[in-house]
Amino acid sequence: MGTELDLRTRPEEERRRALVDAVTEADAGETVDVVAGDDVDVHLVRYQIERDRNLAWTYADPDAEPRRLTVTKEDPLDDGELGTVDVRDLKPQRRHQVLLAAFDELGSDEGFVLVNDHDPKPLYHELTSMHGDVVDWEYRSRGSDGWRIEIVKTGESDAADDDVVTRYDVREIPEAERHPTIHHRYGMIPEGGTMELIAPHEPQPLRGEFRQRYGDAFAWEVVEDEPGRCRVRITKGDGSDEADGSDEADGSNENDGSDEDDGIEVIEELDVRDLPPAQRHERIFETYAGLEVGTGFVLVNDHDPKPLYHQFTAEAGPEFRWDYRLTDPGEFRVLIGKSDAADAETTSAARPTDTADVTNGDGATDRSPTNGGSEAPF
């Protein structure tokens, strides 16, 4: 039986010290069962860097509080080897918080290997937008066992010391990926939080989409406007998560909720809300792969699965169909099906090419995401 450690009532610095002491006292292969008020991944990343020791940890639930996790002490890291951060058992909102905080605490030439269940390219755009040209991003592998990316901070960060939760320089993001990435990340920030966008000009079409989706529940402030550079701060107000379901700008639509759509017969309802995020995409794509032409299933999710839509349009054939049935806070229902390819409508969403030359083995041929990659934002 492993050591048990409750950190909930301890001050921040004492929590870090107690966690480090408990892991240090454990032998290789032994575990520490931790209960904490919030995620402790940053402390574990620092432990791997400072002690040259590999750790593995798994949370009991993607989002439930208090946070309960089991930390396993593994073998020492080899020379030049980086520790691993596997975020597949975290809810998407927590993934961003953990990874941004972990990168913030890195010193020059320090890093970690990120393990995720899909290409986390939006994180690359977010890190480079917030920290400047100090993000070394190298794909190590991808496949059914997860995507592995080596992330190293190569110098002192340019991160501004302000109250912005996140920042995106959209000039560096492929055009087809900009709006989906922004909307998805905006949905994760807390009420009162601010996202900053840097664009070549004020993005009025995006502002129109925000009005359509969130009504008056956001504040839009232009804080800098000069030729070739416009900075806009978007602050999330109460009710911003309540999208109205109008998605024409993204190439999808909502129907009247009937059980058939253009000949699509619904044969199953797939509710993924209780599944860990790492298992959702796999289950959805497995279900889609098993469909016969003319059939479909209704996906039930706890947030708008629009990034999944973009992944389907990039990878599936012309027979792919996607229709919203319900868009309520905490419950989204989408019909996903296969129609006769000859009769299928052509989607208006862009179909970017996949990330180029990523290896499936230990070699690394990609050093940064290519323009036009297909990804599912966190």
Give residue-wise pLDDT tens across range 102-139. Answer: 999 999 999 999 999 888 888 999 999 999 999 999 99
Positive or negative: CA dihedral 173, 176, 179, 182: negative
Pick from 215, 217, 116, 131: nearest CA to 168: 131
**CA distance linking residue 356 with residue 370, whole number of Å:** 7
Dihedral pair phi/psi, residue 158, rounded to 5°: -95, 10
CB distance 259 to 266 below 8 Å: yes
| More reliable by pLDDT, 263 or 190 | 190
What single-letter amino acid sits at 252? S
Nearest of 177, 75, 84 to residue 126 by alpha carbon: 177
Average pLDDT of the segment spanning 149-169: 89
Kindly state the average pLDDT of the residues 207-219. 89
Kindly calculate the radius of gyration of the chain based on its CA atoms and give it in whole angstroms: 22
Among 42-56, 69-83, 175-189, 331-345, whose mean pLDDT is lowest? 331-345
Residue 278 has pLDDT above 60, yes or no: yes
Summarize pLDDT for 357-368 with one digit per residue, the tens.
Answer: 444 444 444 555
Which range (32-41, 152-161, 260-269, 327-336) has the least confidence? 260-269
CA 129 to chain centre: 16
From CA 307, how far away is CA 283, in angstroms rounded?
A: 15
With 0-12 / 13-18 / 19 or more C-beta atoms within 10 angstroms meaning exposed / middle / buried, residue 243 is buried
* pLDDT at residue 154, rounded to an integer: 97
Domain ranges across the chain:
3-153, 166-236, 252-338
Has residue 348 got a pLDDT over 70?
A: no
Q: Give the contacts of 250 (CB within 8 A, at least 6 positions apart).
A: 179, 180, 306, 309, 349
pLDDT at res. 362: 42
pLDDT at 352 over 90: no
Q: How far from chain centre, in Å, is Cα 279?
A: 14
Q: How far is CA 197 from CA 140, 218, 321, 340, in A?
A: 30, 14, 32, 41
pLDDT value at residue 369: 57
User: In this structure, are residues 139 and 355 in contact, taking their beta carbons and an 8 Å threshold?
Assistant: yes
pLDDT at 235 over 90: yes
pLDDT at 222: 97
- Bridge-based pairing state of the strands 229-236 and 53-59: unpaired
Band of pLDDT at residue 347, cut at 50, 70 and 90: very low
CB 262 within 8 A of CB 319: no
Q: Which of 320 and 316 is assigned the larger pLDDT? A: 320
What is residue 1's predicted lDDT score, i.e. its pLDDT? 60
CATH number of the structural domain 252-338: 3.30.110.40
CATH 3.30.70 assigned to 166-236: no
Is the pLDDT reported for residue 70 higher than 60? Answer: yes
252-338 shares the fold of 166-236? yes
Please state, as a whole number, how many other Cβ atoms lie within 10 Å of the Cβ of residue 44. Answer: 24
Residue 335's H or E segment, with its range, is: strand 331-338
Q: Average of pLDDT values for 336-358?
A: 50
Is residue 212 predicted with pLDDT exceeding 80?
A: yes
Kindly tell me if the per-residue pLDDT of 261 is higher than 80.
no
Q: pTM surpassing 0.85? A: no
Which of 100-104, 149-153, 170-174 is least confident? 170-174
Cβ contact 267:338 at 8 Å: no
Check residue 262 and give its pLDDT.
55
Helix (H) or strand (E) holding 95: helix 92-104
Mean pLDDT over each residue of the chain, to the nearest integer = 83
Cis amide bond preceding 66, omega within 30: yes
Interatomic CA distance for residues 313 and 301, integer angstroms: 19
